[in-house]
Amino acid sequence: MERKKIREKLGDFFIDIAKLVFGGVVLSIILDLEMNKLIVLSVGAISTAILAWLGFYLYNKK
């Protein structure tokens, strides 16, 4: 029972980090920072997808 709660909390943590990464990518594009937008979008999208998948995997693991 305790392990399930830990996995759920860890899953929530990774989902929150994915949301923060996504928000950071959107803000960097909106603010037009001195970065290559294609690289920022690529790295942001990949890392958001991986973190979200990991969060949902841990949250739903039985």
20, 17, 4, 15: which is closest to 53 by C-alpha?
15
Q: What is the pLDDT of residues 28-62, one digit of tens each?
A: 888 887 778 889 899 999 999 999 999 999 988 76
Q: Which domain holds residue 36?
A: 2-60
Q: What is the pTM of this model?
A: 0.83
Residue 33 has a pLDDT of: 73
Residue 45 and residue 28 in contact, taking contact as beta carbons nearer than 8 Å: no
Q: What is the pLDDT of residues 6-30, one digit of tens each?
A: 899 999 999 999 999 999 998 988 8
Overall number of domains in the chain:
1
Distance of CA 32 to the CA centre of its chain: 22
